[in-house]
Amino acid sequence: MKRLVLDTSVIVEYIVDGRPYRTKVAKLFEKAEKGELELFISAVTVSETLYVASRIYRKAGTSDPNSDAMDLLDWVSRRARIVYVNEDIALIAGELKKKLRIALADCYVIATAKAINAVPLFRSEEKEMEPFIEELRRYGVRFLNEITL
């Protein structure tokens, strides 16, 4: 796994102290910084991360949650390349949404990975994914607990 497309859940795992996979995610970013692996995020993940991170920072009581979330995205974008949505990615994501009935943002992670020949990486199996886990495996989906660094 030298090329990974990160879901928002992976990025958020990094910013919350005490999360079980925080150290593993930090190692992913370190390896990317050293050029040992390539990290990517979908432009859709950028939007979702901004939203989720600003909510987390707001709950944590930071003085400027939106600025903190923007700083996080700036930091991430120096370690992971943003893949912009094109027609092919959009169509793949739409087909996945119809077939798997999982979150559209998750479909974009998988579609982006397919388009650039990478592995879609999620924090953990989400409840809505459970009925479709075998199909997700066929698309190369992996979870943080499955990877070793």
Cα separation, 23 vs 21, whole angstroms: 6
Query: Are 144 and 124 in contact, with CB atoms under 8 Å apart?
Result: yes
| 59-109 confidence digits (pLDDT tens) | 999 999 999 999 999 999 999 999 999 999 999 999 999 999 999 999 999
State which fold the 3-146 domain adopts.
Rossmann fold (3.40.50)
Whole-angstrom Cα distance, residue 8 to residue 80? 12
Is residue 1 predicted with pLDDT exceeding 70?
no
Pairs from 62-70 (Cβ < 8 Å, separation ≥ 24): none
The sign of the CA dihedral 132, 111, 67, 17 is: positive
What rounded mean pLDDT belongs to the chain?
Answer: 95
Burial class (CB in 10 A: 0-12, 13-18, 19+), 79: middle
Residue 16 has pLDDT above 90, yes or no: no
Beta bridge partners of 120: 5
Query: pTM above the 0.85 mark?
Result: yes
Q: Which residue is associated with the tokens 């190692």?
A: 27
